C-alpha cells in the first residue's frame, strides 16, 4: 500500500481497506529490508504507532525524516560521529507541523555528514547504496530519504538542500525532489550547515504529493525569523492550471551538446533526453527558448558555493566540541579533549572544508575569496532574476547523466568540475523554488529534469512540473534493481 500516492493511501484508510497500524507495520518491515539492502537509515522507530485518520491527507500515514532534523526523544545525529548519541529535547517545526496533522515518523534517514557532501558516502553509518544499482551512489546529501522513497518504504521523506541535496538524489533515484522558496518552510530545528543557503524540502514519487506535504509543513514560524507568511499560497490547488503560453528558458552553455566536444555516449543520451522532454512539454503550448549566460559566471558557480558554504559551516559548527553534547574526548586537557572529539568525529571531507572555510574568512583573505564569492552570487542571482522578468521558469537537465559509480565522484572540486553537475546551486544562491522530476532512463537507470522559478512563485513551478510529469510514464515509479 505504501507504494501508492498519498491520496490513494488516504482513500484506502477512509474506506477501511487498511488501518494506520497496518501501514506502520508495513513501513517498519520495509525499513528493515531497505536498511539491510541499501543502508538507508540511522534509526528505525520500532515503537511507532498507528494514529487516528482525519480529513488531513497525511494523517495515519508513515514518513521518514532526514537525520539532521531535530526530533524530540529520537536520536538525531546528522550522520556524524560527533553527535552519535545526541537526543534532542525539541522537534523541528516542519516535523511538528506534520505530527500535528497526524503523520507518523517511522525512521531517520542517513545522509552525508551534516549535509556537507553530494555522494551519500560520508554518513557515519556507511554509504547509502542506490536502489536501482547497488554499485552506484544515490548522490547526497539526502541519500537515505531518496533511497527510501524510491524503494517504496513510504510516500515521502523530508530532506534538506544547501546546494542540490534534495534535487540531485531525487534524479539519481528516479523520484521527485522539491525545495520551496527560501523561508517558506521554517528551518527551526534543522541542523544548520550554511544558513544563507539551507532549505528544507521533501522527496516524493509524484509532484502532487510534494505539493500536499509542503502545504502541510509550511507557515511562518516565530522561531525562524527568515520564515514568511505563505498563507496565500496553495500548492496543490494550482497543480492543474493551464500552462499554455507559459515561457521557460534553458541555459545553452549548460544544456546544448555542442558545448561538450568530447561528450560521452551517456552525456549525449542525457542531453538528448532533455531536449526530447522539452519537445514533449511544447505540445502543451509551453514556449521554451535557449538563453546564453556569461560562461565566466557559470564556471564560478562551484567555487562560489564551496567558499560561501564552507565559511558559514566553519562558524555554524564551532559549537561541536563534545563538551555540552556529543561524545567527549578522553584527553584530560580541555583543548586536547575538543581536538580529539573533532579529529576523530568529523569525516575527512568536513575537516578539509572547515580549513578552507576558515582560510577564506581570515581578514587578509576575505576580500579576495569570501566577498568576491558573495559578489558573484549576486551577479548570478541578478542575471537569473532579470530572465525571470521575461520567463516563467528555468528548465535544465540534472547532473551529467544517471547515478555515478562510487569511485566516480569524490566530492572534490577540480578544474574539470562541470557546470552541468553544479548548476542547481543557483536555486540556493537566490532562494528560488526548484523541483526535480524523473524524465527517463539511460542504461536502465533514471535521470531527471529540473524546473526553477522566481521567488514566491512556487505554485507556478509545481504547476509546470505537474503538467510535464503528466506527459511521461514515470509518476509514482518504484526502484527496480538493475542487474549489470
Partner 1 sequence: MPKFTKEMVDDYAAKLLIGLTEEENKMVLDEFEAIDKSIENVTKIKGIEKIEPMTHALDNFIFSLREDKAAPSIPIEDALRNAARVEGREIEVPKVVD
Find the binder of partner 1 among 14, 29, 335, 471 (CB under 8 A): 335
- Is 418 in the active site? no
What are the backbone angles phi and psi of residue 204, rounded to the nearest 5°? -140, 180
Count of residues interacting with partner 1 (CB under 8 A): 71
Instruction: Considering the complex, state which of residue 281 and residue 354 has its C-beta at the smaller distance from partner 1.
Output: 354
Instruction: Considering the complex, state which of residue 19 and residue 303 has its C-beta at the smaller distance from partner 1.
Output: 303
Residue list 393-432, contact with partner 1 (CB under 8 A): 412-415, 417, 428-431
Cα distances from 238 to residues 10, 200, 463, in angstroms, run 20, 21, 6
Residue list 103-132, contact with partner 1 (CB under 8 A): none
Distance of CA 352 to the CA centre of its chain: 23
Find the binder of partner 1 among 57, 173, 302, 465 (CB under 8 A): 302
Contacting range for partner 1; rule: CB under 8 A; set: 3-11, 31-39, 245-253, 372-380: 372-380
**d(Cα 327, Cα 341) in Å, to the nearest integer?**
7
Longest CA pairwise span in the chain (Å):
70
SS3 198: coil
Question: CB 471 → partner 1: shortest distance, Å?
Answer: 31
Spot the catalytic one: 165, 186, 347, 400. Answer: 165
**d(Cα 188, Cα 183) in Å, to the nearest integer?**
11
Instruction: Considering the complex, state which of residue 86 and residue 260 has its C-beta at the smaller distance from partner 1.
Output: 86
What are the backbone angles phi and psi of residue 213, rounded to the nearest 5°? -70, -45
**d(Cα 357, Cα 378) in Å, to the nearest integer?**
20
DSSP 65: E
> How many residues make up the chain in this entry?
484
Question: CB 268 → partner 1: shortest distance, Å?
Answer: 26
Closest Cα to residue 474, out of 171, 212, 33? Answer: 171
242 DSSP β-pair partners: none
**d(Cα 138, Cα 409) in Å, to the nearest integer?**
11
The string over 315-344, giving b where at least 16 C-beta atoms fall within 10 Å of a residue's C-beta and e elsewhere, is bbbeebbbeeebbebeeeeeeebbebbbee
Contacting range for partner 1; rule: CB under 8 A; set: 49-57, 96-104, 220-228, 388-396: 220-228
Question: CB 317 → partner 1: shortest distance, Å?
Answer: 10
Instruction: Considering the complex, state which of residue 101 and residue 339 has its C-beta at the smaller distance from partner 1.
Output: 339
Question: CB 443 → partner 1: shortest distance, Å?
Answer: 29
Q: Is 54 in the site for partner 1 (CB under 8 A)?
A: no
Q: Is 234 in the site for partner 1 (CB under 8 A)?
A: no
Instruction: Considering the complex, state which of residue 259 and residue 374 has its C-beta at the smaller distance from partner 1.
Output: 374
Q: Is 457 in the site for partner 1 (CB under 8 A)?
A: no
Q: Is 454 in the site for partner 1 (CB under 8 A)?
A: no
Residue list 129-168, contact with partner 1 (CB under 8 A): none
Find the binder of partner 1 among 156, 172, 182, 274 (CB under 8 A): 182
Residue list 68-107, contact with partner 1 (CB under 8 A): 85-87, 89-90
Find the binder of partner 1 among 99, 359, 406, 441 (CB under 8 A): 359
Give me the 309-328 binding string for partner 1, x by CB under 8 A, dash otherwise: -----x------xxxxxxxx
Q: Parallel, antiparallel, or unpaired: how do β-strands 176-179 and 104-109 relate?
A: unpaired
DSSP codes of every residue in 94-119: HHHHHHHTT-EEEEEE--SGGG--SS
- Is 165 in the active site? yes
Going by C-beta distance under 8 Å and a sequence separation of 6 or more, which residues neighbour residue 471?
280, 281, 283, 284
Instruction: Considering the complex, state which of residue 64 and residue 326 has its C-beta at the smaller distance from partner 1.
Output: 326
Question: CB 231 → partner 1: shortest distance, Å?
Answer: 14
What are the backbone angles phi and psi of residue 221, rounded to the nearest 5°? -130, 125
Spot the catalytic one: 31, 141, 186, 466. Answer: 141
Q: How many CB atoms lie within 10 A of CB 433?
A: 30
Find the binder of partner 1 among 84, 226, 316, 418 (CB under 8 A): 226
Question: CB 374 → partner 1: shortest distance, Å?
Answer: 3
Q: Parallel, antiparallel, or unpaired: how do β-strands 434-442 and 176-179 relate?
A: antiparallel
- Is 145 in the active site? no
Instruction: Considering the complex, state which of residue 281 and residue 429 has its C-beta at the smaller distance from partner 1.
Output: 429
Contacting range for partner 1; rule: CB under 8 A; set: 63-71, 124-132, 248-256, 369-377: 369-377
Q: Is 292 in the site for partner 1 (CB under 8 A)?
A: no
Q: State the number of CA atoms in the 13 A half-sphere of 60 facing the CB.
A: 23
Q: Is 358 in the site for partner 1 (CB under 8 A)?
A: yes
Q: Is 333 in the site for partner 1 (CB under 8 A)?
A: yes
Closest Cα to residue 63, out of 111, 114, 109, 127? Answer: 109
**d(Cα 420, Cα 434) in Å, to the nearest integer?**
16
**d(Cα 66, Cα 107) in Å, to the nearest integer?**
8
Q: How many CB atoms lie within 10 A of CB 226?
A: 14
Instruction: Considering the complex, state which of residue 87 and residue 257 has its C-beta at the smaller distance from partner 1.
Output: 87
Instruction: Considering the complex, state which of residue 191 and residue 429 has its C-beta at the smaller distance from partner 1.
Output: 429
SS3 280: helix
Q: Is 66 in the site for partner 1 (CB under 8 A)?
A: no
Catalytic residue numbers read 66, 141, 165
Amino acid at each position: 500500500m505504501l507504494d501508492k500516492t498519498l491520496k490513494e493511501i488516504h482513500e484506502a484508510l477512509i474506506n477501511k481497506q487498511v488501518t494506520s497500524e497496518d501501514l506502520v507495520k508495513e513501513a517498519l518491515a520495509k525499513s528493515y529490508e531497505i536498511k539491510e539492502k541499501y543502508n538507508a537509515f540511522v534509526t528505525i522507530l520500532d515503537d511507532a504507532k498507528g494514529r487516528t485518520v482525519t480529513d488531513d491527507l497525511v494523517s495515519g500515514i508513515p514518513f521518514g525524516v532526514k537525520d539532521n532534523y531535530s526530533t524530540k526523544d529520537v536520536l538525531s545525529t546528522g550522520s556524524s560521529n560527533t553527535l552519535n548519541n545526541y537526543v534532542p529535547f525539541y522537534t523541528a517545526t516542519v516535523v511538528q507541523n506534520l505530527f500535528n496533522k497526524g503523520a507518523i515518523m517511522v525512521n531517520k534517514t542517513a545522509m552525508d555528514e551534516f549535509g556537507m557532501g553530494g555522494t551519500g558516502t560520508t554518513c557515519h553509518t556507511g554509504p547509502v547504496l542506490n536502489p536501482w544499482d547497488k554499485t552506484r551512489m544515490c548522490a547526497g546529501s539526502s541519500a537515505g530519504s531518496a533511497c527510501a522513497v524510491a524503494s517504496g518504504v513510504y510516500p515521502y521523506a523530508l530532506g534538506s538542500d544547501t546546494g542540490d541535496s534534495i534535487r540531485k538524489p531525487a534524479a539519481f533515484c528516479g523520484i521527485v525532489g522539491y525545495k520551496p522558496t527560501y523561508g517558506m518552510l521554517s528551518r527551526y530545528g534543522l541542523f544548520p550547515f550554511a544558513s544563507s543557503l539551507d532549505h528544507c524540502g521533501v522527496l516524493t514519487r509524484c509532484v502532487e504529493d510534494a505539493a500536499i506535504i509542503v502545504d502541510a509543513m509550511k507557515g511562518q514560524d516565530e522561531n525562524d525569523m527568515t520564515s514568511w507568511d505563505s498563507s496565500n499560497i496553495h500548492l496543490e490547488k494550482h497543480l492543474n492550471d493551464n500552462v499554455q503560453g507559459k515561457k521557460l528558458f534553458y541555459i545553452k552553455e549548460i544544456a546544448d551538446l555542442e558545448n561538450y566536444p568530447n561528450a560521452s555516449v551517456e552525456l549525449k543520451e542525457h542531453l538528448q533526453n532533455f531536449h526530447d522532454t522539452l519537445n514533449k512539454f511544447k505540445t502543451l503550448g509551453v514556449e521554451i527558448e535557449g538563453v546564453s549566460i556569461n560562461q565566466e559566471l557559470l564556471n564560478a558557480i562551484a567555487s562560489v558555493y564551496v567558499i560561501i558554504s564552507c565559511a558559514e559551516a566553519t562558524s555554524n559548527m564551532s559549537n561541536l566540541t563534545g563538551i555540552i553534547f556529543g561524545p567527549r574526548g578522553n584527553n584530560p586537557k580541555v583543548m586536547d579533549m575538543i581536538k580529539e572529539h573533532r579529529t576523530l568525529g568529523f569525516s575527512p571531507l568536513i575537516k578539509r572544508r572547515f580549513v578552507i572555510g576558515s582560510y577564506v574568512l581570515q581578514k587578509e583573505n576575505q576580500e579576495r575569496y569570501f566577498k568576491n564569492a558573495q559578489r558573484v552570487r549576486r551577479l548570478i542571482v541578478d542575471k537569473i532574476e532579470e530572465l525571470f522578468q521575461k520567463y516563467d521558469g528555468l528548465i535544465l537537465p540534472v547532473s551529467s547523466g544517471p547515478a555515478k559509480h562510487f569511485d566516480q565522484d569524490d566530492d572534490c572540486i577540480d578544474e574539470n568540475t562541470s557546470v552541468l553537475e553544479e548548476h542547481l546551486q543557483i536555486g540556493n544562491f537566490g532562494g528560488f523554488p526548484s523541483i526535480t522530476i524523473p524524465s527517463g532512463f539511460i542504461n536502465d537507470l533514471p535521470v531527471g529534469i529540473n524546473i526553477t522559478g522566481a521567488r514566491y512563485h512556487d505554485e507556478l513551478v509545481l504547476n509546470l512540473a505537474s503538467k510535464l510529469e503528466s506527459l511521461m510514464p514515470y509518476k509514482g515509479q518504484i526502484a527496480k534493481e538493475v542487474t549489470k
